[in-house]
Amino acid sequence: MFDTSMQPGTFLFEAWQARWSLMSGLGVTMSSSVLTIIIATIIGTIFGVALSYGWWWLRALIRLYVDLLRGIPVLVLILFTYYGLALFGINVPAFWAGVIALSAFATAHVAENLRGAVQSVPAGQMEAAKAIGLRFGQRLRYVIVPQAFRRMLPPWVNTGLEVVKGTTLLSVIGVVELLLSTQQVVARNYLIIDFYLLATVMYLVINLIIAQLGALLERRFSYLRY
């Protein structure tokens, strides 16, 4: 019997024709998300520790940064990074402008989450580590931060999910991520519902991967007891 599922104008045919475009957009979404999460986790960890144990002037500066960045919409940060910096002669490629903006936003959230987690660790943990002769850096590395990480994992996962959703805003500065590549495909074949459902599934898969990573890390730190 003649198979009409791969005829021009059908979803399967158009999806096959657009496979490289969609995969390219998916790759941009995943790479920008991973880079943002890595950068935000590293810098946010440093800022979070500094908010808890830094000099007063350092805490004040980071507190100002955290409060400002958490209060500014992500879209405004993206537009400022791409267009605003150009006014000062700093030309940043669209992809990296998006990563910088998303990282700045996510860093503020990670820093605040870690600060709360660090301060929730019982004070006796720091005193016990000091009593056995650990230096301050060792107390943070081996005692305080591992316990704080366990407590901040759920909000860290939420931040990662917000980053993935935030990558859709990169299309406004011309970054062809998954959403924009889907829109370009839809503009050619007008299969609106089919391709937006496909994009939805792709986003869900990415978010499920992040959620599973968070669950894996939570099990990794589950040996800690207070």
Residues 19/99/187/161 CA torsion (nearest 10 deg): 80
| pLDDT digits 0-9 by tens, 16-58 | 888 899 999 999 999 999 999 999 999 999 999 999 888 999 9
Structural domains present in the chain: 19-220 (1.10.3720.10)
**Residue among 99, 103, 98 at smallest CA distance from 172:** 98
Output the average pLDDT for the chain: 87
CA angle 133–59–48, rounded 5-degree value: 65
DSSP tag of 7: S
The 10s digit of each residue's pLDDT in 66-125 is 999 999 999 999 999 999 888 888 888 999 999 999 999 999 999 999 988 888 887 777
Per-residue pLDDT reduced to its tens digit, 119-153: 888 777 777 877 887 887 788 887 888 888 888 88
**Nearest residue to 162 via CA among 106, 80, 122:** 106
pLDDT band at 2 (very low <50, low <70, confident <90, very high): very low
8-state DSSP, 34:
H
Q: What is the dihedral of CA 75, 80, 81, 85, to 10 degrees?
A: 170
Q: Give, rounded to a whole angstrom, the gap between the first and last alpha carbons of the chain.
A: 67
Tell me which H or E stretch contains 182.
helix 178-189
